[in-house]
Chain A
């Protein structure tokens, strides 16, 4: 016997005990019995009954179709619907059950008013996977649906699927926040793990919240199993597992603020970001110009697609997180906070501004030709005196400035949930050497201090940084998904007294007679802020009195950051208008409009809450 080789082997003796031996042999015999059972069974099934099973395989009449789950809605912080679902009808076919392709194609094309050749092609193509249901036409009209439904018995292999289609009720308004759905790509499908719920043709969130919250929103598909007759007509439903709808997602966005910001930006390119400085909640996030995400739900005509892609204003770009700009004079707020905290200046210290500042061979001009005269910190902020901050920039040096910027969260993504955030830039000596192979110049520290150097920030970063200054030094991660927990990155240790001085300076920007944004002062509420103007072509534009004389692409970018109330800020709004001219006249009114809407929405809303509590 095969296992008795130990007797024939000339190797040193086997040590198996006799009592074990006979039991082991029984074990082996048992193994052989088991394998023989399998072999006999296989022989019976495959050799003797093979043709019977082959028949069963050929006539496999059980069809499985999945039932799509209703996607969760996306709601704003007040439970207002931002992305909804509407009923829709799809024409579904199981290709195997369509025997007469040209007849079916002819009938469908007739009812739907589409090209017959295309339909033939589509069905032929689908026949490669004959048992996988395909949608021959999506989102057909109610009349078309009714017309097909009544004729179904003469259309073997076809069925109507009552499903739902995404509806972005705000259209252009929330496009960059919400993102949009699209058909899952071939590449995405190939990267899936086994058991993943996606099939070709399934919708998947491509960008924005739709993509971030894909798993929550998607829900679980249901399954319907049915038997068909030889003609491919459904004969009986064997089982149905209903789909589980996706969960709703609540955002921190406030629809009213979003609307106000979007309206205010109409016809301009740029961004608005509104943030709650106490929590990091993003209340509004607008990228202008925008697009209608509903267009992306169904295949677009090449012309429509070209129109969006080739638009010189780049409507698809998500500017709040991907637009990188020099911070302009808004950066002076950061310099002021740093200089006070590190005792490089006291609030009472003054600097005389003669209209320019000399360092070595270079002269750096103040935006006000005639000079500002004696400036303390409050008036330097209020009037945005460049010379005052040139002095601070020289004293602080680039190392301190860049390390403070890093502490504030500049130079890296803010951490808001969106996936494709850009980092901006915090220049350092090493960076400059790496990038240009040159040493850092003192003059570069000087212009960095007024936000005109190499520094780049996104509007989202600006909102985060300004929030962390006005809330007393708490760097909070911004977020668009509602949550009760606050994610605090670090504390900047700004003294209360210093904070009060900075806020006073920012208040005077709007509220004092000489403030750079006095034009947006209004009687309903007090706000603080800071203007900023970014030269697109350095040293060229600021000499011109009127920006509108310049070609669009050469005009300055306009920044404004505002917050209110000054004492305990509840809202911080940052706006940038690309090529808008000066910050005070173009960007500041946008911020004012958003804050105004904030108060308009808040007043009656609070009363409502009070009444409910009574």
Chain B
């Protein structure tokens, strides 16, 4: 067997195919929702997908254990990016999330999501011997998790900060926390909720309140949520058809390229389409966890579960928001929402997982 054949045989083509299928559905929706406002973003998204696939290939080629050695430099790079965006970032409607790079903008907080996974996987690999973390062992990792989360909160970007925090919690739980410590922390968390509430910005609090009672503010986030629900529900069993979604085409739907793009799927393709998309996502996440089980070291396993958590959280929060069971926070839908940084990171994650899958044969 030639070396080349062996390389391609052991690539997890299923994972790539699943991701590409999701991307295809995303392009259909983007085409539909950008028709009224100009096709520029559709072509841009095509470009981002192409770059994303290239990123995946690059990440696939280099042995992932390089990351183990560069976990700290990457961590510092992440902090640098998050600080930089606060200093030189472009301010758009009150938030600094973007760094201008020529005609494009990049979001360091998107990159932070995946760099945090790598750092935590590295930490788990280093502290393999710990069987169940107690308070003392938790202090350091908590500190290193809170720095990026805090920086993202300052931007402010509640959705992204929440995602990074949740991914981190998931990985820490996987690493194992002592039962007594876990219960103690849970109690602490619940009792801290009121304080978190008062530290939120006014508009963030309003969003949560509106979620609990949509009639409070039918124009702001309530309006978005309501119109999104109408879009999803009116899709029915089979949908209104490609380019036929009235909510989308008549622009009742806000942010229909980004945060509310799921509503376009649901409206134009109905339950059939949205269920198919959910199945594809389940297949994607399941594949990634399978590879996690088979990885040849703890570092690889942790990265896979981190990526699985990354996708699951985005998918769940985004869709739950579109169907009105979660407050409106800015969390995009993987491989579908319009946005360069996010698309690149999605593919980067796939590249990482493929890398881990492929190198389990290498010794």
Contact = CB atoms under 8 A, between A and B. Distances in A.
Contact-size category for A: 35 or more
B162 interface: no
A2 interface: yes
Contacts of A192: 37-38, 40
A233 B286 CA distance: 53
Nearest to A131: B250
A146 interface: no
A16 B237 CA distance: 42
Given A3-B290, A39-B275, A53 B305 contact: no
Contact of A12 (B234, B286, B361): B361
A190 B278 contact: no
B355 interface: no
B235 A50 contact: yes
B289 A3 contact: yes
Interface string B241-277: 0000011001110000100000000100011001100
A46 B274 contact: yes
A52 B250 CA distance: 19
A519 interface: no
Contacts of A131: 250-252
Interface stretch (B52-60, B81-89, B110-118, B294-302): B294-302
A53 B233 contact: yes
Given A15-B295, A27-B289, A62-B252, A56 B301 contact: no
Contacts of B229: 45, 53
A131 B297 CA distance: 58
A191 B43 CA distance: 12
B319 A56 contact: no
A56 B230 contact: yes
Given A42-B232, A53-B230, A19 B286 contact: no
A191 B270 CA distance: 32
Max count, chain B CB within 10 A of own CB: residue among A9, A53, A62: A53
Contact of A57 (B230, B289, B296): B230
Nearest to A50: B236
B219 interface: yes
B321 to A, nearest CB: 11
B173 interface: yes
A610 interface: no
A50 B233 contact: yes
A2 B286 contact: yes
B39 interface: yes
Contacts of A162: none
Interface stretch (A28-36, A255-263, A412-420, A575-583): A28-36
A202 B131 CA distance: 66
B354 interface: no
B236 A54 contact: yes
Given A11-B360, A24-B292, A24-B293, A46 B176 contact: no
A12, A45, A62 — most chain B CB neighbours (10 Å): A45
For the residues of A in contact with B, the DSSP-based class is: helix
B236 A20 contact: no
Contact of A34 (B219, B234, B312): B312
Contacts of A20: 174, 176, 298, 301
Given A35-B278, A39-B275, A131-B251, A50 B298 contact: no
B218 interface: yes
A445 B290 CA distance: 82
B325 A41 contact: yes
A369 interface: no
A498 to B, nearest CB: 46
A11 B358 CA distance: 12
B49 interface: no
Contacts of A132: 251
B329 interface: no
Interface string A436-478: 0000000000000000000000000000000000000000000
Contact of A23 (B38, B176, B235, B308): B176
Contact of B295 (A16, A34, A60, A191): A16
A27 B305 contact: yes
Nearest to A9: B294
Contacts of A50: 233-237, 271
Give the contact-size bracket for chain B: 35 or more
A360 interface: no
Contact of A11 (B230, B232, B316, B361): B361
B323 interface: yes
A47 interface: yes
B271 A46 contact: yes
A41 B324 CA distance: 9
A51 interface: yes
B230 A3 contact: no
A406 interface: no
B23 to A, nearest CB: 19
A126 B183 CA distance: 62
Q: Which of A27, A37, A51 has the most CB of B within 10 A?
A: A27
A239 B305 CA distance: 45
B320 interface: yes
B231 interface: yes
Given A39-B275, A46-B266, A47-B271, A57 B325 contact: no
B361 A47 contact: no
B324 to A, nearest CB: 8
A194 interface: yes
Contacts of B218: 238
A65 B33 CA distance: 20
B121 to A, nearest CB: 12
A57 B323 contact: no
Contacts of A6: 293-294
B296 to A, nearest CB: 5
Interface string A182-193: 000000011111
A19 B131 contact: yes
B204 interface: no
Given A16-B293, A191-B38, A54 B233 contact: yes
A57 B266 CA distance: 13
A486 interface: no
Contacts of A16: 292-295, 298, 301
Contacts of B252: 60, 62, 131
A60 B294 contact: no
Nearest to A192: B38
Interface in A128-142: 129-132
Interface string A1-21: 011111001011011110111
A395 interface: no
Contacts of A31: 282, 285, 289, 308, 312
A38 interface: yes
B51 interface: no
A231 interface: no
A17 B360 CA distance: 15
Contacts of B236: 46-47, 50-51, 54
Contacts of A17: 298
A316 interface: no
Interface in A512-559: none
A49 interface: yes
29 contacts: A3-B293, A6-B293, A12-B361, A14-B294, A15-B296, A15-B298, A16-B298, A16-B301, A20-B176, A20-B298, A24-B289, A24-B293, A27-B289, A28-B289, A31-B282, A35-B278, A35-B282, A39-B275, A45-B229, A46-B237, A46-B274, A50-B234, A50-B271, A53-B229, A53-B232, A58-B246, A130-B250, A189-B38, A194-B41
The 6 A-B residue pairs with the shortest CB-CB distance, nearest first, are A53-B233, A50-B236, A57-B234, A46-B271, A239-B219, A53-B234
Given A16-B298, A192-B40, 12 more contacts: A16-B295, A27-B289, A27-B308, A28-B289, A34-B312, A35-B282, A37-B325, A38-B278, A47-B271, A129-B36, A194-B34, A194-B37
Interface of A: 2-6, 9, 11-12, 14-17, 19-21, 23-24, 27-28, 31-32, 34-35, 37-39, 41-43, 45-47, 49-54, 56-58, 60, 62, 129-132, 189-194, 225, 238-239
